[in-house]
């Protein structure tokens, strides 16, 4: 007999900072950073999508990078940046 087990590749991401609903959210399909923020209710009135920080562990080392999501918000064609399991997305507050 052949037994086939299907595992769901769930990606769990923490979204915090200036978003409507900061949360730990699980996704069961490929999801972009922008889509993940929208799942958290989007940036709140003070959220700065020009300097979203993505924190990711790679081989036990924490990496951090800043993403400008304003072109996506404007509907411009940009290369999507997908989340990975364990990512932390932080939306900072605008300084003004």
User: Which domain does 37 fall in, by range?
Assistant: 11-91
Q: Does the structure show a pLDDT above 90 at 11? A: yes
Model pTM greater than 0.85? yes
95 vs 83, residue with greater confidence: 83
Q: Is residue 2 part of a domain?
A: no
Q: Does the structure show a pLDDT above 70 at 5? A: no
What's the pLDDT score for residue 93?
96
What's the pLDDT score for residue 21?
97
Q: Is residue 86 part of a domain?
A: yes
How many domains, the chain?
1
Q: What is the CATH classification number for the domain harbouring 64?
A: 3.10.560.10
Q: Does the structure show a pLDDT above 90 at 95? A: no
Q: Which string of DSSP letters, residue by residue, matches 32-90? A: BHHHHHHHTT-B-TTB-GGGEEEEEEETTEEEEEEE--HHHHTT------B--TT-EEE
Q: Is residue 83 part of a domain?
A: yes
Strand partners, 23: 15
Cα separation, 12 vs 27, whole angstroms: 6
């Amino acid at each position: 007999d052949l037994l086939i087990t299907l595992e769901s590749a769930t990606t769990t991401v923490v979204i915090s900072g200036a978003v409507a609903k900061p949360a730990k959210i699980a996704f069961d399909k490929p999801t972009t950073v922008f889509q993940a923020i929208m799942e958290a209710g989007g940036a709140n009135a003070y959220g700065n999508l020009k300097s979203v920080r993505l924190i990711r562990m790679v081989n036990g080392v924490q990496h951090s990078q800043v993403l400008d999501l304003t072109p996506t918000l404007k509907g411009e064609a940009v290369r999507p940046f997908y989340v990975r399991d364990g990512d932390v997305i932080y939306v900072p507050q605008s300084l003004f």
